[in-house]
Amino acid sequence: MFKPLEILLRRIVDHGNLSLITHTGTTFRFGNGEGPAVVARLADRKLERQLALDPHLAVGEAYMDGRLIMEQGRIYDLLALVLENAMAHPPPRWAQSLDVARFLTRRLAQFNPAGRSRRNVAHHYDIDGSIYDLFLDADRQYSCAYFDDADTPLEAAQKAKKRHLAAKLALSEGQHVLDIGSGWGGLGIYLAETAGCIVDGVTLSVEQLKISEARARRAGLANAVHFRLQDYREVVGPYDRVVSVGMFEHVGVNHYGTYFRKVRELLKDDGVAVIHFIGRSEPPAITNPFIAKYIFPGGYIPALSEVMGAIERSGLITTDVEILRLHYAETLRAWRKRFIANWDEAARIRDERFCRMWEFYLAGSETAFRYQNLVVFQIQATRRIDALPLTRDYIVRNEAALQRAEREGIKAPAPRLAGE
């Protein structure tokens, strides 16, 4: 085995049961031998050097290309074992040299003018949509669900996420809501159907737009929910409410000021915005190079410190910040298990290489939330400091009202501010 790779793994892995089989058939064992065995085979000598010098990219590429073969356990088990160990034993500086270079050039990678943003979105979302039906819930919610506990079914947790966001928006019937990055339309339809709002949804995905429009027509909401292909920078307001779920990760650190200034511009004087996005509970860093290259080009997961300054400079007032810790790990766990259960169908739609790429994406993302300080932020902001009640109790009340409306199939009663 390439000596630097062996040194790297012996430094990091001090517990667990990891075995690597080289291309010559020699087995190297790491950890204390406790726990389920995780066994991987390396197909060639070159891979050993790549894993030592650029593990963040090489592991995913090698698994996707069939050069890293899991003999026992799945790729999730390998990533979880190594990353859990790495929490206590981070890799040496020489193994992070490429990440330093990536950090220094990250603004170039995240420069996302309108045209490039459209291409980046098409790369991920304008693929055969039947792939998403293999692992998402029926509403195609492709963002962090909201779990009461780890046993909550995915469908219930995704509905709870929509309800939680709607409650934070403090909606009244007939209000005009903008959904930035409206996905396949599920949140917009929920806000119209359950809260009685008029919703405009904007997306950069042609495929998402088609499905959203068809869903609104089928629900009989074509007059209440309007979707269009449009960059958020081109939208004209004003709106009573602005919501964005899972889109801010695609904005790019260069454009945070533009984004929040636009949100402020779009809001009415007493308007409320809620922005839901993946973040990191650590200082600014880089996008995982495998994710940036194959899954979400131009994307970045920010630290809270990078976001708050942009909000402050925009003139918006931050009124609430909630941190969802392991909710996305549980969401990704459900997605990963569903995708693996539907592997043969995914391979029929695409091919085995795509399946390995997607499995690595889901497994790597889940382990990042469990072991690498990723969380989800929900930031609420207003233009006016008195736009919301004095305490957060209204969120609980609104959730209860929305849940009753879901059960009874009627619009939720309009929430009232304290003193009304």
- Write the pLDDT tens digit of every residue in 85-116: 999 887 766 666 667 667 666 677 666 677 76
pLDDT of residue 104: 65
Q: Is the domain of 143 the same as that of 242?
A: yes
Q: Is the domain of 87 the same as that of 131?
A: no
Final residue of a structural domain among 41, 76, 104: 104
Q: At what angle do helices 352-371 and 327-341 cross, to 10 degrees?
A: 160
Q: Is the domain of 290 the same as that of 156?
A: yes
Listed range (120-134, 139-153, 159-173) with the worst mean pLDDT: 120-134
pLDDT of residue 410: 65
Q: Taking residues 132-155, report their average pLDDT.
A: 95
Residue-wise pLDDT for 267-287, tens only, equals 999 999 999 999 999 998 888
**Preceding peptide of 238 cis, ω within 30°:** yes
Q: In what order do the strands lie in the sheet with 27-30?
A: 27-30, 18-21, 38-42, 68-72
Domains held by the chain: number? 2
Q: Taking residues 390-404, report their average pLDDT.
A: 95
The answer to whether residue 413 sits within a structural domain is no
Q: Is the domain of 130 the same as that of 91?
A: no
Looking at every residue in the chain, the average pLDDT score rounds to 92
Q: Taking residues 288-308, report their average pLDDT.
A: 91
Q: Is the domain of 404 the same as that of 293?
A: yes
Q: Taking residues 339-349, report their average pLDDT.
A: 97
Cα separation, 288 vs 290, in Å, equals: 6
Q: Is the domain of 85 the same as that of 10?
A: yes
Are the C-beta atoms of residues 245 and 331 closer than 8 Å to each other?
no
Is the pLDDT assigned to residue 250 strictly greater than 50? Answer: yes
CATH number at residue 369: 3.40.50.150
Q: Is the domain of 100 the same as that of 148?
A: no
Band of residue 417 on the pLDDT scale cut at 50, 70, 90:
very low
pLDDT of residue 317: 98
Sequence letter at residue 153: P
Q: Which two tokens stand for residue 356?
A: 């390995």
Is the pLDDT assigned to residue 295 strictly greater than 60? Answer: yes
Band of residue 206 on the pLDDT scale cut at 50, 70, 90:
very high
Residue-wise pLDDT for 193-205, tens only, equals 999 999 999 999 9
The fraction of the chain above a pLDDT of 90, given in percent, is 80
pLDDT of residue 414: 45
pLDDT of residue 246: 95
The answer to whether residue 420 sits within a structural domain is no
The answer to whether residue 417 sits within a structural domain is no
Is the pLDDT assigned to residue 415 strictly greater than 50? Answer: no
Residue predicted with more confidence, 170 or 287: 170
Residue predicted with more confidence, 400 or 418: 400
Provide the CA 300 distance to its chain's centre, in angstroms. Answer: 10
Q: Is the domain of 73 the same as that of 208?
A: no
Torsions phi, psi for 377 (to 5 deg): -100, 140
Determine the structural domain holding residue 149 and report its residue range: 114-408
Final residue of a structural domain among 48, 79, 104: 104
Q: Which two tokens stand for residue 265?
A: 């511009």
Is the pLDDT assigned to residue 168 strictly greater than 60? Answer: yes
Residue-wise pLDDT for 207-227, tens only, equals 999 999 999 999 999 999 999
Q: Is the domain of 125 the same as that of 37?
A: no
Final residue of a structural domain among 72, 104, 136: 104
The answer to whether residue 323 sits within a structural domain is yes
